Structure 1
């Protein structure tokens, strides 16, 4: 009985530790990646909203590179970083929530669940982080597309934008589009984590490693640990086996391989979820206008289909991939080493 209690206490302590480790390492990775990839995110938001901007008339930008040229010429560097203050201020709690949720779920989901377990981890991370990310997303996107809104609103900065949201709609105004946001990022995270973990297992199984295999342990051996299933689980806690085998596998993989796994997974997940992202962006931005104050994601999607056709749902996909692929790669390449650095020394 004492052994069982000790094991339960140890498992509980490990779960708390993994959550805290993710919460500490996440913000470091998040702030660095968002600064690098914010300009493509601004371009993506403007391309997605221009077909519905109150100013009407022809689209201002003909495509991604035309948007880059016009913003650079007319607004300079500041134009690409509109609303970044909201992201910088909110990035720490948002990434603490996301990576803390990711590590918590990873330590709790049984290893034998396989890819279904990876999908559950991705869903848990997003559900925890969505409450923090949504207000940041709304403020960021309204500031990003302000030049296209024909004076429908004018904010001096992130703080005023937040105050206006609360004044107009109450505190819940900060969560406008929460479910629309999750309609994008919940499936994106489910797909991304599943693709990412699967690609890391494949890379480890092929022997693609950092070359620092201690004690002759190869990538395939680590992959074998990750997929040992119930037999391995019977000798230790199934919840912790997913985390420990994943950590061992990550230590075997070089930063280049981790970057390729995360960038490829993010791009594929982004492509599959892009239509929902277009609707989400318009909902969060247009709700600031009186004429669209009560619009829903479904009614907005039907209006877009009728007015602009099916192609509108892929507007800005190139800019989104340009933002997602390097941003996600940078986040995880920074996150994994920082997470290892925060690990306790081996005894």
Structure 2
């Protein structure tokens, strides 16, 4: 089994973990960001309404498309990042420099935007249709496949890439911040806590992954360092990602859900000015609290899943 396949397969595990932990927070965020959202209501009120109306399963509205989309996105993101970083820093001596981390993260982020844009469009429209039905309309979509079919009939293939510009900026800039933060914290914590976490340091380096093969000899301290480092580095990196790129995410959500609520279509800059005119700069940070609350556990889970999956795959040298 080639190293490239292992890197991409480990990314799928990260995506599944992200959706399981983070999708409910994402549903709340989308409801807060949408055009007809009631600005007086906060995340707790929105959560209460969703659970009261549809139960906990309502928080996973659109999750089926997310599982497919995020699994594919994470596979490309982590796989591309690992492979490009490995090509830019082929030596197994020391940690990768920023000259390898930053371009690898930027290219990986730009690549996944092509996958994320259509899948997030379907997810956002499914998450928003409950509010539309409460306003007197009927449900437009019976599920993700119905949403795909109707979007294609009404808007064509281009309709699935509404908000691509905002998505691409969010992913490129955001993942540079994410992976840089992750690598810095991982390096620092490993140095301070001692030991060496088994996982990401060897992913994508195309070297003999000694650390993966040393699992049997791990001490309790090694396991504790590994788990703590993955949780903290992934969680903090996720918070940094969203704190920086949330305005682009708000713009993306508005661009993707306008057609669903019958609003006029707007481009990148017109959407920015529209949000600023309606709600001020604070409107670009709609959904900030559930996004940041989601960021730590979802990204911590993603990093831990990625590192564990990579270790398991690299241990199997068949």
TM-score range, shorter chain: 0.7 to 0.9
2:169 counterpart of 1:169: no
2:301 counterpart of 1:316: no
Q: Is the 8 A contact 2:237 2:299 kept in 1?
A: no
Q: How does 1:1-347 map to 2 (within 5 A)?
A: 17-49=2-34, 52-53=35-36, 59=38, 62-110=41-89, 114-149=97-132, 150=135, 151=137, 154-209=140-195, 240=205, 253-293=225-265, 295-344=266-315
Instruction: Call closer, same or farther: CA 1:189–1:331 in 2, change over 3 Å.
Output: same
CA drift at 1:207: 3.5
Instruction: Call closer, same or farther: CA 1:38–1:182 in 2, change over 3 Å.
Output: same
Q: CA RMSD in A?
A: 3.1
Size of the aligned set, in residue pairs, is 301
Q: Using structure 1 for the length normalisation, give the TM-score.
A: 0.77
CA distance, structure 2, for counterparts of residue 113 and residue 27 of structure 1: 23
Residues 132-141 or 100-109, more deviating: 100-109
State the SS of the aligned residue for 2:2: helix
Instruction: Call closer, same or farther: CA 1:132–1:247 in 2, change over 3 Å.
Output: farther
The unaligned stretches of length 5 or more in structure 1 are 1-15, 213-222, 227-238
Residues 177-186 or 202-211, more deviating: 202-211
CA drift at 1:345: 6.1
CA drift at 1:243: 9.7
CA drift at 1:245: 9.9
CA distance, structure 1, for counterparts of residue 155 and residue 11 of structure 2: 31
CA distance, structure 2, for counterparts of residue 80 and residue 243 of structure 1: 43
Q: Is the 8 A contact 2:15 2:72 kept in 1?
A: no
CA distance, structure 1, for counterparts of residue 250 and residue 62 of structure 2: 19
CA drift at 1:271: 0.7
CA distance, structure 2, for counterparts of residue 206 and residue 70 of structure 1: 45
CA drift at 1:36: 2.0
CA distance, structure 1, for counterparts of residue 49 and residue 262 of structure 2: 29
State the SS of the aligned residue for 2:277: helix
Instruction: Call closer, same or farther: CA 1:325–1:245 in 2, change over 3 Å.
Output: farther
Q: Is the 8 A contact 1:19 1:104 kept in 2?
A: yes
Bigger Rg, structure 1 or 2:
1
CA distance, structure 2, for counterparts of residue 296 and residue 183 of structure 1: 14
CA distance, structure 1, for counterparts of residue 196 and residue 88 of structure 2: 27
Q: Is the 8 A contact 1:109 1:242 kept in 2?
A: no
Q: Is the 8 A contact 1:109 1:117 kept in 2?
A: yes
Instruction: Call closer, same or farther: CA 1:33–1:113 in 2, change over 3 Å.
Output: closer
The unaligned stretches of length 5 or more in structure 2 are none
CA distance, structure 2, for counterparts of residue 60 and residue 336 of structure 1: 40
CA distance, structure 1, for counterparts of residue 209 and residue 118 of structure 2: 34
Residues 296-305 or 250-259, more deviating: 250-259
CA distance, structure 2, for counterparts of residue 342 and residue 33 of structure 1: 20
